[in-house]
Amino acid sequence: MRRLLCILLLACGVFGPVHSASESVVLVVRADSPVKDLSSVEVRKLFLGVPVLVEGRLLHAIRNRSDARLDDIFLQQIVAMTQEAYDRQILVGLNRQGWVRPAEVGSVARVIEDLYVDPQAVSYMWLRDVEHNPRLKVLRTLWGE
Q: What are the residues binding another protein (CB under 8 A)?
A: 41-42, 45, 48, 50-53, 56-58, 60, 87-89, 91-92, 94-101, 118, 120
CA–CA separation, 94 and 65 (whole Å): 21
CB of 43 to another protein, least distance (A): 12
Question: Of the two residues 6 and 104, which places its CB atom closer to another protein in the complex?
Answer: 104
CA–CA separation, 40 and 130 (whole Å): 20
Question: Of the two residues 4 and 41, which places its CB atom closer to another protein in the complex?
Answer: 41
CB of 52 to another protein, least distance (A): 5
- Counting Cβ atoms within 10 Å, is residue 9 exposed (0-12), middle (13-18) or buried (19+)? exposed
Coil, strand or helix: which one is 135?
A: coil
Residue 85, CB half-sphere, CA atoms under 13 Å: how many?
6
Distance of CA 81 to the CA centre of its chain: 16
CB of 90 to another protein, least distance (A): 9
Question: Of the two residues 33 and 127, which places its CB atom closer to another protein in the complex?
Answer: 33
CB of 104 to another protein, least distance (A): 10
